[in-house]
Amino acid sequence: MTAVPPTVRRPSREEIRDIASRHHMDLTEAEVDLAAASLDRICSTMEHLDGLSESRPERAYTDRDPGERPDRAADPHNAFVRRCLVAGASEGSLAGYDVGLKDNVSVAGVPMTNGSRNFRDYVPNRDATVVRRLLDAGATITGKLNMAAMSLSASGELTASGPILNPANADHLAGGSSGGPAAAVAAGDVDVALGTDQGGSIRLPAAWCGVVGLKPTFGLVPYTGIAGFGGSLDHVGPIAQSVDDCARTLGAVAGDDGRDPRQGRADTQDYVHAVENRPDPADLTVGVVAEGFDREESDERSDDAVREALDDLADAGVTVTDISVPYHEDGRALHTAIVVEELAACWHTEGVGKFAKGHYDTQYAEAFGKARRVHGDDWPPALKVNLVAGEYLSEMYLGHYYAKAQNLVRGLTAAYDAALADVDVLAMPTSPRLAHEHREDVSVADSATRAVNMLGNTTPFNDTGHPALSLPCGTARDLPVGLMLVGNRFDDAALLAASATVETVR
């Protein structure tokens, strides 16, 4: 082993006392002496680690053009952060597909912003697992796509590079946080895209833009190499023009990678086969969840469009039955308790978490740590408010509400499972609201409200992990409306098959 010079600075006695005081400890002089001596040895051990090399997977498909940000004429909806070109294998299930990636998905050698100016100089040195799998399947990656800063807004306007406009009506927003992927697919700029979803961020922009968006079962698709903020909430999945393309993309990226601690189980299925052999309408039963409609935040025009679509399904022979899942109304409250404290924990652990076996992105952790210390004022207000809330609840109430919400999620999960025992899929509006109008004069307070006032139906399934898919089902005021279908956990094939049946008769 080659000796390396000292690289880890030893703390002063004052720093030792300050660190101890943050944990409500007042060290004696003897304890400070002991801590100093121990830290000297520990820092020497860390210097030994500096002399060791992390294993790094060999980079395949090395012909890569990192590209550049397109001008507005080439990107009228502001869907792209940059156009790039990384060609995959010459054949495979996605050969001939142009694929866009939300700009929190790492592509080696291509800059990644995570939707924030704080990462404008960050260039990943590794591919995310999903990127390697897309390239192996023959896809060509042609763009990094616009997103809400750090994935924390569902409106589509809180991005570092400006609002993402809706291809269906450019006077309205595309939604978020995966607004760029949805807009790029809707505009035909890419064939499929990958987005991420911690509370609806795939399904909501898919609904607003009139495309198909799938949040798979939690843990089915590895999140390794993707910037997240909630270890129990992070999902990655496809957005496409059709259920078939969602199934094809899911088939390429799903499965255990041995490095993502979210993946306790990742049983895969033949998703394309399931879609090709979708059930006849007469063999499909859809349970319409009453609590998904007529919510406090609901726009009756959105609810009416979904009800009309469900009536069309019934006319086509689908068994459409009204059901009640009262626990659904509590889902948003549980999610709020979980998401704010997970966000705070994410900040404390430099964006990569702790306490689990798996891959830890040291490059991203360093960039994240610098960003939050040097550019903390540059985060958008909605993120700051949620971060403060998470810190307050964690400190003042000792993590009680986070723990209680996670415990209560088991009851919510059981309630959905019980409902799904009698039907093939659950149904409700993806978004209770139509796409927000794009406005230049939105106040800070309004922007924070607009970021989250459409999440009531989507967030519960991030907590329970059920697969959920948004399917275009009509329009209201010339704006797309999405129908959300929910299936059994780890039976994404059945959900996709049912969605394909609905797609043919909607």
Catalytic residues: 102, 177, 201
- Phi, psi dihedral angles at 437 (to 5 degrees): -70, 140
- The two tokens of residue 451 are 């970021």
Among 77, 127, 121, which Cα is nearest to 105's? 127
Number of C-beta neighbours around residue 207 at 10 A: 35
H or E, element range at 113: none
CA-based torsion, 107, 190, 467, 380: positive or negative: positive
Q: What dihedral angle (degrees, nearest 10) is formed by the CA atoms of 442, 444, 448, 453?
A: -40
Q: Helix H segments across 254-318?
A: 271-276, 300-315
Which residues 6+ apart lie within 8 Å of 430 measured at CB?
200, 203, 204, 206, 207, 457, 458, 470, 482, 483, 484
Q: Map residue 84 onto helix, strand or coil.
A: strand
Question: Which DSSP string do the residues of 196-258 spell out, in sequence order?
Answer: EESSSTTHHHHHHHTSEEEE-STTSS--TTB--S-TTT-EEEEEESSHHHHHHHHHHH-S--S
H or E, element range at 425: strand 425-429
8 Å CB contact between 178 and 201: yes
Amino acid 102 reads K
DSSP 68: E
The bridge status of strand 192-197 relative to strand 169-173 is unpaired
- The two tokens of residue 94 are 């996605």
